[in-house]
Chains A and B, each alone.
Chain A
Amino acid sequence: MFGRLGFDALPHDPVTIGGVVGGGLAVLGVVAAMTYFKKWGWLWRNWLTSLDPKKIGIMYIAVAVIMLLRGLADAAMLRAQQAIFATSASSPISPDLFQQVFSAHGTIMIFFVAMGVIFGLINLILPLQIGARDVAFPLLNSISFWLFVAGMVLINVSLALGEFSAAGWLAYPPLSGLEYSPGTGIDYWIWSLQIAGVGSLLSGVNFLVTIFTMRRKGMTLMKMPIFVWSVLGSMLLVAFAFPILTATLAMLSLDRTLGMHFFTSDLGGNPMMYVNLIWAWGHPEVYILILPAFGIFSEIVATYSRKKLFGYKSMVWAILAITVLSFTVWLHHFFTMGAGANVNAFFGIMTMIIAIPTGVKVFNWIFTMYKGKVSFKTPMLWFMGFAVTFTIGGVTGVLMAVPGIDYQMHNSLFLVAHFHNMIIGGVLFGVFAGITYWWPKFAGFRLHEGLGKAAFWCWLFGFWFAFIPLYILGFMGAVRRLDSYDPSLGWQGLFIVAGLGVMLILLGVFFQVVQVAYSIWKRKELAVGSDPWDGRTLEWATSTPVAEYNFAHLDAVQDRDAFWAAKQSKTKASTKFTDIALPKNTGTGAYVGAAAFVIGFAVIWHIWWLALLALLVLVGIVIASTLREDEDTEMIITAAEVAATEKRLRGAGA
């Protein structure tokens, strides 16, 4: 009846129980508060069923921030183990739990934090920057979001029911095969990523079409803001790389559930093929994350330097070059696995080549600042921190691109330091900068500067304290995923420094939480108009908060920095309005997400009847939504309503 699900699926070890109880209480608390204040209807109507990309974007970011806290908790556990318990005989974190924690940390941080914030920001900013009222497929957008949520819930349920993968964030076979991992952990990993991954793939298609077909009249490709270009590159990568992930996960799951032999070590299976396939997705994935961050920094540097972005064309070419080249380097993740000297040399050289366009971008940003009137607001600090941190990370990456050196560094803590250098210094700093920069557009008030700066300095120094020791430890021979080592090696001091660094990072996160809370509290004092930073691109041309329909008028744009040009020429918006059609709210996305979650859960636990049932329900939901004609999915905002809204949001004058 319930497949493999039974009472022994409940957690046994105290640390996990603590986590489940803590997480459970938090969820219960929120549910109770929502019920008490009778907010469910409001939440459902205004948020969960909304097809407005601005709201979907905010929901993505909210989910990602919660997952960041979980990922940080995992990281703190790993660090505590390595700093304190690794040399002692007993530890509250068992070796098996340790493996689950680093696997969960990596998976959650990449899929549910980094991807989440990136998609969140794209949803918020992209339609505005291209001067559109919506994305190309609003319902699909909501479905993508809910698939993301379904995957997120699944990975967190693994804490309470069953176990999580202990095979690292990429689950190499044969370890992840049935023979060595018979439990539910790998299946949780597979289905969580499969469901969220399909969501990302659909988002990729959606945003590509949005960029291709929804741009404002007059906005030729070479007039698109650079953030849009970077999203274009990133979404091309999504469209090209995520199908590989889907296929690979499907094959691993077929091995595990139907007894196939793609990656098994017997009957002709080929585990190395998995490693190739997963990195053919995995390397582009890191550029999927970093390209939008580059785009964010480009916008910020130009705005705060009060100058046009230096070298726009070279930026575009750099983005495109990175997009293409990122498919030609995947083998650098396994130089040591015996591909032979010539193959290794090719991929090593390609890896070094891809650093060139990245370098071009760094120089462009610096030249943008050169002779600009730079104002060092918090986002600019994140940029400066990024420029230094990311460049150093890039250098250590190029170092490992030399196959001979990589034989020494492979799977060491040096590598762990390198990729955190890129991902924290690049992606996280980028989204922190972006959120601070665009916050007032959606909130109507800016974030407190002092607290933001405090958070920045904690993160920056915390990062360096947490990860420089890992570079050194890597040189000393410490491998990754290590839960114990001999005290005589003399590593403990460095691990303790790294642990202190994490505490500093946590302090930074604390400041960020306080910053948001305090700014909401003081929102009257921090209130700003619709264009607080003297922006250049179209998102700043909207009212604040942004009207549902984004723009009342869709006048053609002439210039690359369209809003800047409009401000210079002092064009006045007309006061004649027309009807605007927008998509109606619908619960379809949420239902699809729920059905996908049940399918995943049922397959993980081998509850076949439930999986089939949920699949039928899913098909039913999709058919029902197909049967809805255009008139039923759209609502009209009349010209009079638009006029009233514009008056309310912009004041009588505009």
Chain B
Amino acid sequence: MSELIEAQKARLYRTTIGFWVYLMTDCLLFASLFATYAVLRTATAGGPGAADIFELPLALTETIILLVSSFTCGLMLLGLQAKNRRQVIVAMALTYALGVAFLAIEIGEFAKFVAEGHSWQQSAFLSAFFTLVGTHGLHILFGLLWLVVMLVVVVRRGLTPKVTRQLTIFGLFWHFLDLVWIFIFTVVYLLGVAS
């Protein structure tokens, strides 16, 4: 029995380290997109620039929603440690709802830009904007999908060793996306509107 626990521990350790390494590679992916955005920020080709189209209140709302979802995600991890299944489920559901809200706002923003004629085809600046922010959005979407699958597992099977591992790294993932968003908020929206 103790051997089994040892093996579980080793697995958790490997999975966590592996996920950290993966996050580092994802970080570099975003770094490439950020660098591109920085270069193309002013390449508006006669179209609108950052200051013309971004609305800070909206971006701030998104930021707050994501921050709160990081908090609920933290609650989930605490529940996991306490092996409190109900807390885990509730926190997962809350995180999910907040994630959906965030995505909805983002999609709304994108749709508005497109409707106003400022799609990704208009200028290099807009291509870079849609790609950078959209890549983050895709990550969120992926995270939500992942969350649903795990929610089903937790509800039906309880906190199995595997889902425990997965939830642990999901926590890392979600905080990471929060962090990336803070950068997006600062570099794209704040500095953009200030420029």
Contact = CB atoms under 8 A, between A and B. Distances in A.
A629 B160 contact: yes
Interface stretch (B26-34, B56-64, B101-109): B26-34
A630 B27 CA distance: 29
B123 A268 contact: yes
Interface string B1-36: 000000100110110011001101111110111011
A209 B131 contact: no
A201 interface: yes
For the residues of A in contact with B, the DSSP-based class is helix
Looking at B17, B18, B39, B127, which has the most chain A CB atoms within 10 Å of its CB? B127
Given A205-B22, A243-B25, A629-B160, A261 B124 contact: yes
A36 to B, nearest CB: 42
A240 interface: yes
Contact of A243 (B7, B13, B28, B36): B28
Contacts of A627: 149, 153
B121 A269 contact: no
A449 B32 CA distance: 49
B117 interface: no
Contacts of B7: 581
A212 interface: yes
Nearest to B42: A268
Contacts, number: 118
Interface in A237-263: 239-240, 242-244, 246-248, 250-251, 254-255, 258-262
A270 B29 contact: no
B166 interface: yes
Interface residues of A, number: 44
A623 interface: yes
Given A260-B127, A268-B43, A270-B124, A247 B14 contact: no
Contact of A205 (B10, B25, B128): B25
Contacts of B40: 262, 268-270, 273
Contacts of A259: 120-121
B43 A243 contact: no
A405 B17 CA distance: 46
Nearest to A247: B32
A204 B128 CA distance: 28
Contact of A247 (B29, B121, B161): B29
Contacts of A460: none
A267 B45 contact: yes
A136 interface: yes
A264 B128 CA distance: 13
Given A247-B33, A258-B121, A259-B121, A269 B26 contact: no
Given A267-B124, A629-B160, A213 B29 contact: no
A251 B29 contact: no
B74 to A, nearest CB: 23
B21 A213 contact: no
B30 to A, nearest CB: 8
B10 to A, nearest CB: 8
B44 to A, nearest CB: 6
A195 to B, nearest CB: 16
Contacts of B123: 261, 267-268
B14 A209 contact: yes
A244 B26 CA distance: 10
B127 to A, nearest CB: 4
B87 interface: no
A342 interface: no
Interface string A204-223: 11101100111000000000
**Closest 10 pairs (CB-CB, A-B):** A268-B43, A268-B124, A260-B127, A247-B32, A243-B28, A268-B45, A243-B29, A267-B45, A261-B124, A209-B18
15 contacts: A137-B14, A137-B18, A205-B22, A209-B18, A239-B24, A240-B28, A243-B27, A255-B127, A259-B121, A260-B127, A268-B40, A268-B43, A626-B149, A628-B162, A629-B162
Interface of B: 7, 10-11, 13-14, 17-18, 21-22, 24-29, 31-33, 35-36, 39-40, 43-45, 120-125, 127-128, 130-131, 145, 149, 153, 157, 160-162, 166
Given A205-B21, A267-B124, A626-B149, 9 more contacts: A205-B22, A208-B21, A213-B10, A243-B28, A260-B130, A269-B40, A270-B40, A581-B7, A630-B162
